Chain A
Amino acid sequence: MPPERRAAVARGSPLSSNGAGPLLAVDGLAVDYALPRGLVNAVARRPREAVLAVDGVSFTVERGELLALVGESGCGKTTTAQSVLRLIEASAGTIEFAGRDITKLGSRELRLLRRRMQIIYQDPYESLDPRFTVERAVEEPLVIHGLGGSRSERAALVRDAVARVELTPPELFLDRYPHELSGGQRQRVAIAAALVLEPELLVADEPVSMLDVSVRAGVLNLLDGLRASSLGILMITHDLSTAARYADRIAVMYLGRIVEIGRAAEIIQNPQHPYTRALLSVVPRRDPRDRAKPQILKGEAPDATRIPSGCRFHPRCPVAIAECPTHDPALRQPREARTAEHQAACILA
């Protein structure tokens, strides 16, 4: 997109970015969900029990950086992303976007903020309206936010966004409906509809897990390239191979906490938390000779309604020691860290 057009879209934002500091700084984020209490407890007026889905999560995303949040279902990675976008409310902690705490913003300011942080979902079959052409789907966010000026200016912005996601030439795609597109093309349209607003942060929630293998790489490479325009990306994924290849940094989550965080290469090659090590050992490799001995963790997937005492990983940990059931380890730099920002929450690290 030509710079003057981008400026036209970016105009009129009351939330001035100061440029310095991280794009996104999440500090001590906690999110709880009230559990349904059932009829008996409701009649007895017993208080609702709450589940801490996210419990003290801190991380930053720089401009032009891709941070991957990885972990199993129920670890709180999607909840974390949704609270960053304020789609759900945090119960504690701060979320600073471009230097400003956004956890207390009112609805009007929130609307202006939403333009600057966009999300793409796992399933492009569900996130696109089947009755909208590509052109309408990509134009809609501009209309909703009252951006893009005249009709012809909007059309030009839409065309640019469609070209940016490599649906070229755009003319070939603008009049098509979702059912006329492949899964990869649909996800590209969803990305175009996010990019047309010129966001500064893009949250990508499992962006390729529903797509065919043959097209996944194309969508990931596209996201990878967007960082060059200083877009910050928070990618939620359960796939460590994707995180290994595309993320600048990786944060591994377990039961609502970040248990290890650092540069992607450091986490993959020099993991210090036993959970990260186990996760890495079970990632299938494409080279059959590379059949690693998987370190399969016993027991059920983590359950936020029953958080273990001490280190919450200790019941499944293969190397737990006597202190682990009582000692709740904080994130700190492990002894064998090779980079300064590497942190792990394990008494043995």
Chain B
Amino acid sequence: MSTLLQTDELNVWFDLPRGGTLHAVQGVSVALEPGERLGLVGESGCGKTTTGLALMGLLPSSATAAGRIELNGLDILAGGEETMRAHRWVDIAMVFQGAMNAFNPVKTVGSQIVEALELHGSSSGRAARAQTGELLGAVGIPPDRAERYPHEFSGGMRQRAAIAMALACKPSVLVADEPTTALDVMVQAQILALLDGLCRDFGLALLLVTHDLPVVAQLCDRAAVMYAGEIVEEGPVEELYHDPRHPYTRLLFAATTDLNAEALPVSIPGAPPRLDRPIAGCPFRARCDRAFARCEHDRPLLRAVGSRRVAACHLNDVPLSLEAVR
């Protein structure tokens, strides 16, 4: 399969109001194939949402992005706002966190989707209304509900409608930022099943931005774990859970409550480092239970661990024989 969307050494800096810059995204490289579901996970402030906004070209004016964002092999970041705009919503769409609460309360849900379709010139008038019905149907909303107002929808229905709106121009990539965070478990399950179906049936590629590891474990093929602006481990979700090669991945799973787990979940002590100053050594070392001398000054690079995985941890350099001793 060919790579649909790929970032290469993506960096984002924010100018701070009191001077200085904050390095929010630090050399992030991810790749998505058609129909693939990639989870982007980490704590608040790790740069996962900023990465999503960068893909959409929707960073605030205080931000500067550098690196490559390749869509079907074409670097759309290099083309500037004009190129980004040409692909935004058309090829890459995003469901923002809290999007379900972003509908205009005095307009019907259907008219807002029609508006989106007309704005992008995909269709207009009767055709746009018909397409709106199809979109709503695709996300499991009876098309006759198009005439209803947002407040007449439940939270789960509004989230479905928000997904329908994002899909209006038939994008090939959907960035979903915490799409189930404010929802009840049963509604969450419905939305996850919907996203799963969209990937399976229409080959939609999904970048799921979330702090919720179990949701990623259930829905995604691969996961990229972000810490302090960079990816510290990436690979198949199953391998990340059963054989984490970065201590942060292991500790993040251990901090999660699970229905069947015997052990008490354990918090990760401390807090992520500040991103408005250079980081010496490994950014995770202060919170790491396996840090050693080298971690103090030598920043670990993201390197291949096995055939399908990358991790940024010096422990992976230790020869296997030593690993057994330790």
**Are the C-beta atoms of A218 and B241 separated by less than 8 Å?**
no
**At the interface, yes or no: A284 with Cβ under 8 Å from chain B?**
yes
**Are the C-beta atoms of B212 and A284 separated by less than 8 Å?**
yes
Q: Which residues of B are found within 8 Å of A294, using beta-carbon distances?
A: 189, 193
Q: Which of A12-56 contact B (CB under 8 A)?
A: none
**Are the C-beta atoms of A213 and B187 separated by less than 8 Å?**
no
**At the interface, yes or no: A326 with Cβ under 8 Å from chain B?**
no
Q: Which residues of A are found within 8 Å of B4, using beta-carbon distances?
A: none
**Are the C-beta atoms of A279 and B185 separated by less than 8 Å?**
yes
**At the interface, yes or no: A108 with Cβ under 8 Å from chain B?**
no
**At the interface, yes or no: A146 with Cβ under 8 Å from chain B?**
no
Interface string of A257-281 (1 = CB under 8 A from B): 0000000000010000000001110
Interface string of A278-303 (1 = CB under 8 A from B): 11101111111111001011001100
**Are the C-beta atoms of B184 and A285 separated by less than 8 Å?**
no
Q: How far is B258's CA from A187's CA once the two chains are assembled, in angstroms? A: 22
**Are the C-beta atoms of B256 and A286 separated by less than 8 Å?**
yes
**At the interface, yes or no: A324 with Cβ under 8 Å from chain B?**
no
The 7 closest A-B pairs by CB, nearest first: A218-B267, A284-B214, A282-B189, A217-B265, A214-B268, A241-B257, A72-B184
Q: Which residues of B are found within 8 Å of A245, using beta-carbon distances?
A: 257-258, 261, 264-265
**Are the C-beta atoms of B154 and A301 separated by less than 8 Å?**
yes
**At the interface, yes or no: A153 with Cβ under 8 Å from chain B?**
no
Knowing A72-B184, A221-B264, say if A287 contacts B259 (CB, 8 Å): no
Q: Which of A66-93 contact B (CB under 8 A)?
A: 72-73
Using CB atoms and an 8 Å cutoff, list the residues of chain B in contact with chain A.
43-44, 154-157, 184-190, 192-193, 211-215, 217-218, 237-238, 241-242, 251-253, 255-261, 264-268, 271
A80 nearest CB across to chain B (Å): 17
Q: How far is B215's CA from A72's CA once the two chains are assembled, in angstroms? A: 18
Q: How far is B187's CA from A294's CA once the two chains are assembled, in angstroms? A: 12
Dominant secondary structure at the A interface: helix
**Are the C-beta atoms of B257 and A239 separated by less than 8 Å?**
yes
Q: How far is B196's CA from A17's CA once the two chains are assembled, in angstroms? A: 55
**At the interface, yes or no: A194 with Cβ under 8 Å from chain B?**
no
Q: Which residues of A are found within 8 Å of B184, using beta-carbon distances?
A: 72-73, 238, 301
Using CB atoms and an 8 Å cutoff, list the residues of chain A in contact with chain B.
72-73, 182-184, 212-218, 220-221, 224, 238-242, 244-245, 268, 278-280, 282-291, 294, 296-297, 300-301
A140 nearest CB across to chain B (Å): 27
For A212, A220, A244, A294, the residue with the greatest tally of chain B CB atoms inside 10 Å of its CB is A212
Q: A213-B211, A289-B242 are in contact. List 9 more A-B contacts (CB 8 A).
A: A213-B252, A214-B267, A217-B265, A221-B265, A282-B186, A282-B189, A286-B258, A287-B258, A297-B186
Q: Which residues of B are found within 8 Å of A184, using beta-carbon distances?
A: 267
Q: Which residues of B are found within 8 Å of A182, using beta-carbon distances?
A: 271
Q: Which of B43, B154, B156 contacts A213 (CB 8 A)?
A: B43
A280 nearest CB across to chain B (Å): 7
**Are the C-beta atoms of B217 and A285 separated by less than 8 Å?**
yes
Q: Which of B156, B217, B218, B241 contacts A301 (CB 8 A)?
A: B156
For B156, B185, B256, B266, the residue with the greatest tally of chain A CB atoms inside 10 Å of its CB is B185
**Are the C-beta atoms of A286 and B217 separated by less than 8 Å?**
yes
**Are the C-beta atoms of A241 and B43 separated by less than 8 Å?**
no
Q: Which of B156, B237, B241, B255 contacts A216 (CB 8 A)?
A: B255
B269 nearest CB across to chain A (Å): 8
Knowing A216-B255, A245-B261, A301-B186, say if A286 contacts B213 (CB, 8 Å): yes
Q: Which residues of B are found within 8 Å of A285, using beta-carbon distances?
A: 214, 217-218, 258-260
Q: How far is B255's CA from A183's CA once the two chains are assembled, in angstroms? A: 16
Q: Which residues of B are found within 8 Å of A301, using beta-carbon distances?
A: 154-156, 184, 186-187
**Are the C-beta atoms of A289 and B238 separated by less than 8 Å?**
yes
Q: Which residues of B are found within 8 Å of A238, using beta-carbon distances?
A: 184-185
Q: Which residues of A are found within 8 Å of B266, using beta-carbon distances?
A: 217, 221
**Are the C-beta atoms of A287 and B185 separated by less than 8 Å?**
no
Q: Which residues of A are found within 8 Å of B156, using beta-carbon distances?
A: 301
Knowing A214-B252, A284-B215, A287-B217, say if A240 contacts B265 (CB, 8 Å): no
Knowing A213-B43, A220-B257, A279-B185, say if A284 contacts B218 (CB, 8 Å): yes
Give 5 pairs: A residue, B residue, CB < 8 Å, sorted on A: A212-B211, A245-B264, A283-B185, A291-B218, A294-B193
B120 nearest CB across to chain A (Å): 31
Q: How far is B238's CA from A245's CA once the two chains are assembled, in angstroms? A: 23
Q: Which residues of B are found within 8 Å of A241, using beta-carbon distances?
A: 214, 257-259
Q: Which residues of B are found within 8 Å of A239, using beta-carbon distances?
A: 185, 257
Q: Which residues of A are found within 8 Å of B264, using beta-carbon distances?
A: 217, 221, 224, 245
Q: How far is B44's CA from A83's CA once the two chains are assembled, in angstroms? A: 34
Knowing A72-B184, A184-B267, A288-B241, say if A296 contacts B214 (CB, 8 Å): no
**Are the C-beta atoms of A280 and B186 separated by less than 8 Å?**
no
**Are the C-beta atoms of B212 and A216 separated by less than 8 Å?**
no
**Are the C-beta atoms of B259 and A268 separated by less than 8 Å?**
yes
Q: Which residues of A are found within 8 Å of B189, using beta-carbon distances?
A: 282, 294, 296
**Are the C-beta atoms of A282 and B257 separated by less than 8 Å?**
no
Closest to B213 in A: A286
**Are the C-beta atoms of B193 and A296 separated by less than 8 Å?**
yes
Q: How far is B78's CA from A348's CA once the two chains are assembled, in angstroms? A: 64
